[in-house]
Structure 1
């Protein structure tokens, strides 16, 4: 569903565009929850497009927005002491110029999702779940000899390999 801006004081209903990217048909029934409403504090710009006449018009009499979806997501807060050690530098860099509440929210997010971030250089691991290819256009692949590691980095490379 596309983002839609609505002034609830003047127009409590609006049209929204929905896209079904799947081959299975989806039917919106009355009282179906289709979106999340959030308060907008600052509108930077509005870009309006004329609606295409090719779009099939569907009429729904009423769509409920649940109380959970009507309010913006509440974030957990935490103290800086609760942030894991490997994320302290990230917390410091990302909270420069923020007020205390925002700093506590960032600390809460870092605490909640701490297992998402790497703790050390080599703890990420490998995966064979997905493969990728590099599109080279019409260029033929080339082969070059490996380049020698500069002597200044030889010790670091040896440590990493060990």
Structure 2
């Protein structure tokens, strides 16, 4: 398990990971823009178990790398970007059992169709690309005669 990021809960998370995943986890800490791509390439799944995240730009970043998502229901992007049963799963924030189950379903899906899942994830995030936003703006302006 690769854990990227840092913050006030890092010490507690390190201790928990050491007890639950001895020898099976790595803490990368904060990664700048130049290094984060390598982490996404190395990943199989992107998980964000936040108790509060208005959107989660890293969700879009992960999707651009074709990573299926496991997001808590407190991540704003979950409602718009995750298609449960296909491109990821959403679980109730704070429910460790539901998180494990969601992660298991995504990993099982990857075992059966990794390329297809990655392709569908990328297609979904393309709706939020700069080009798609510009097209939407143009269509909106044309609709009002501008």
Same fold (TM over 0.5): no
TM-score of the superposition, structure 2-length normalised?
A: 0.26
Task: Give the greater-gyration-radius structure (CA).
Answer: 1
TM-score of the superposition, structure 1-length normalised?
A: 0.24
Q: Which has the higher strand share?
A: 2
